[in-house]
Amino acid sequence: MKLKQLEGLLGDLEQFSNPKVELEQYPTGPHIASRMLFTAENSYGDITDKVVADFGCGCGTLSAAAALLDAASVIGFDIDPQSLETATLNAEELEVEIDFVQCDITKLELKGQIVNTVVMNPPFGTRKKGADMEFLSAAMKVASDAVYSLHKTSTREHIKRAALRDFNAKSAEVLCELRYDLPKLYKFHKRKEVDIAVDLWRFEPRQN
Amino acid sequence: MRLIVHNMLSCNIRGVVNKFPLRIEPEKVIVKEVDFNPDFLKHMIAKIDWKALVDGARSMGYPELPDHPPTTLESDESFLRKFHHSLLELNLEEGSLVCPETGRKFSVNKGIPNMLLHEDEV
């Protein structure tokens, strides 16, 4: 599948109808989602024929992208039942098979070595401090091959240090810097739209 | 929920030791066909907890899997088809997952298991 085609398909997905600020629910836009998964597959072969988990999947944009790139199995995890309902509808609309599990990522323990790749757009930890790190820590325990994640560029050094020192990463690499468009979703947003710099990371776990 | 997911889920209540596999109590099972990918399946055999898969498939009304996977898989398409069906095509649409130690039930609605714990369980 071509990048533009993937981006087009993701652009038709339903997003949060009633976003919950405490969960930092921001939609992952089709531009970022398509580039993230396309890079994971085309540069590293981490998606096609792999088992892919999407942590904090929300409405399932990254899950859908993984399924469209022929992951062997995709599992989306989220705490919020309304998001999972929308994610299920999105999967049906695209005619892809995705499993969804309702759970708290930070308390999740998955057995075995089944998941190859974790992809995620975690909360940035602006509402609940440290939420981004809790997601990264959980992802590094589950993935056997690689973790792809988005984090604010302003936290780059902190992420790198934590990944290598605390989360047992063999490597932690920023693949590219992206602009994340945040539409005005919440009352506390003063401007109509803001655009923040985020890094697309790839982490390799040492061994799980 | 498909059995590939069941193979990873356990009961994470604090203090529980015997947490895997969760027993499946099905109310509604559906079958959704997916593409057969023998290379992927061969790769998965070593990673799957076989007994959990066999028991899960049986509880969902599919008793065709052998107690142990065959040691050579090269020409065994009929086995791989059964493995494929069990792992990726059986879907628990409604029912429960039950902790083997505590009997705590995690409900499955519209195919989605709810693994959230209550405050006194974490």
Contact yes or no for B12 and A73 at CB 8 A:
no
Helix or strand holding residue A154 (H, E): none
Domain presence at residue B122: no
- State chain B's mean pLDDT as an integer: 95
Residue with tokens 């589950």, as numbered in its chain? A142
Please report residues of A whose CB lies closer than 8 A to that of B40.
49, 72
Contact yes or no for B34 and A88 at CB 8 A:
no
Tell me the backbone φ, ψ of residue A124, rounded to 5 degrees: -80, 0
Q: Is the pLDDT of residue B73 over 70?
A: no
End-to-end CA distance of chain A: 31
The whole domain housing B34 covers 3-115
Strand positions, DSSP E, A140-188: 146-152, 169-183
Place A21 in a pLDDT band, splitting at 50, 70 and 90: confident
Residue pLDDT, tens place only, A172-200: 999 999 887 766 556 666 665 678 899 99
Strand positions, DSSP E, B1-122: 23-31, 90-98, 105-109, 112-113
What's CA B24's distance to the chain center, in Å?
Answer: 8
Domain presence at residue B121: no
Domain presence at residue B102: yes
ipTM at complex level: 0.96
* C-alpha distances in Å from residue A94, one per residue of A64, A66, A152, B4, B89: 8, 12, 30, 21, 18
Contact yes or no for A112 and B112 at CB 8 A:
no
Please report residues of A whose CB lies closer than 8 A to that of B1.
99, 101
Q: How far apart are CA A207 and CA A113, in angstroms?
A: 10
Instruction: Decide yes or no: CATH 3.40.50.300 for domain A3-205.
Output: no
CATH classification of the domain holding B86? 2.20.25.10
Spatial neighbors of A166 by CB under 8 A, at least 6 apart, are A137
Q: Is the pLDDT of residue A27 over 80?
A: no
Can you tell me whether residue B91 is helix, strand or coil?
strand
Domain presence at residue B10: yes
- Based on the structure, what is the number of domains in chain B? 1
Q: State residue A72's pLDDT score.
A: 97
